[in-house]
Amino acid sequence: MSNKAKIAVLVSGGGTNLQALIDAQGQGILKNGSIELVVSNNANAYALTRAQNAGIQTACILKREYADQAAFEQAIKDVLAQHGIDLIVLAGFMAILSEDFTSAYPKRIINVHPSLIPSFCGKGFYGLRVHEAALEKGVKVTGATVHFVNEIPDGGEIILQKAVEVQEGDTPEVLQKRVMEQAEWKLLPAAVELVSKKIVKE
Ligand code: GAR
């Protein structure tokens, strides 16, 4: 393959990680990949506005509009194929994808998770809940992980990981913001560039 890896970013919410990728592309940090498409499973996701502001095409695929998980996933696959996508980035995408989906894109789906995997990950650990669990446990160090996605939730090979200190008096919201600022928003663009570079060389 030559030129740039075509990237789709899958989102559900605010899209600050999507924004970090858009900014990284603007700054030339992401240079071997190009964000071609943003797919949301939530019509009200602010991430869609971020994509539109950046001139990136969007697709909204709502699970309730499909008969079952397989039909929902097929709709995602169809839009990815229409855009010739090489790399799928889950950036705050709050839906579980089945093995049927993940096995169709081996080492071509990556996810950002707001903890140091294997801590505070897997089923039920997403968004603020991850930080609530970390504070409940009393860990002094947490962080973020970018990993390949396989059939095990948060179980794929780790690409990059960064530690962030927990501070006295942290609330889940305060800790979430620190983990995003110090880890996720840097780690995700760096990992996407790493994987894009590999894809381009193939
Ligand atoms: C981020 O903290 C991301 O790591 C987390 O949701 C947040 C989405 O924020 N993802 C998960 O918990 C996945 N298991 P964003 O929409 O502002 O990027």
Return the residue whose CA atom lies nearest to atom 14 of ligand 1: 126
Q: Which atom of ligand 1 is nearest to the CA of 144?
A: 4
Q: For the chain, give every domain's residue range.
A: 5-201
Instruction: Pick one of 3.30.1200.10, 3.40.50.170, 1.10.1760.20, 3.40.640.10 as the CATH number of 5-201.
Output: 3.40.50.170
Give the per-residue pLDDT at 73: 98
Judge whether 113 counts as a catalytic residue.
yes
Q: Note the pLDDT tens digit of each residue in 53-109.
A: 999 999 999 999 999 999 999 999 999 999 999 999 999 999 989 999 999 999 999
Give the per-residue pLDDT at 2: 57
Give the per-residue pLDDT at 96: 87
Return the residue whose CA atom lies nearest to atom 11 of ligand 1: 126
- Say yes or no to pLDDT of 1 above 90: no
CA distance 167 to 153: 28
State the chain's mean pLDDT as an integer: 97
Q: What CA dihedral angle connects 17, 178, 94 and 33, to 10 degrees?
A: 20
Q: Which atom of ligand 1 is nearest to the CA of 11?
A: 16
To the question of pTM greater than 0.95 for the whole model, the response is: yes
